[in-house]
Amino acid sequence: MLYKRKRLQLPIAPELYLDRMIKQHAINEVPLSRHIAQLSVRLPDIHNDPFDRILIAMCQANGWILLSKDSVIAKYPDIRVVW
């Protein structure tokens, strides 16, 4: 969306760029499960962005640290945020 709105500039099309970065940095993709989607809906109404809620639920469920500059995310229980 940022690319389409010209708020993000990339040297090549986003799909190609993403594929290249995943390969170059050996990034593992994590699928979105129904369980995580359900957990994200059950979170307290602190954050309204559905994508951020999914990230929060993933991190809580897996004990992961979330890298984000969004200070609202740190208000959730059982989440570690770094930025």
The pLDDT tens digits of the residues spanning 17-36 come to: 999 999 999 999 999 999 99
Write the DSSP symbol of residue 31: -
Query: Residues in the chain, how many?
Result: 83
Tokens 């970065």, residue located: 21
Neighbours of 66 (CB within 10 A): 19
Position 66 pLDDT exceeds 90: yes
- For residue 11, the model assigns a pLDDT of 95
Which two structure tokens, joined as six digits, stand for 56?
């929060």
Residue 83: pLDDT band with limits 50, 70, 90: confident
pTM of the predicted model, to two decimals?
0.78
d(CA 40, CA 42): 5
pLDDT of residue 52: 95
| DSSP strands (E only) in the chain | 65-67, 80-82
Q: Is the model's pLDDT at 50 over the cut of 90? A: yes
What is the pLDDT confidence band of residue 39, given thresholds at 50, 70 and 90? very high
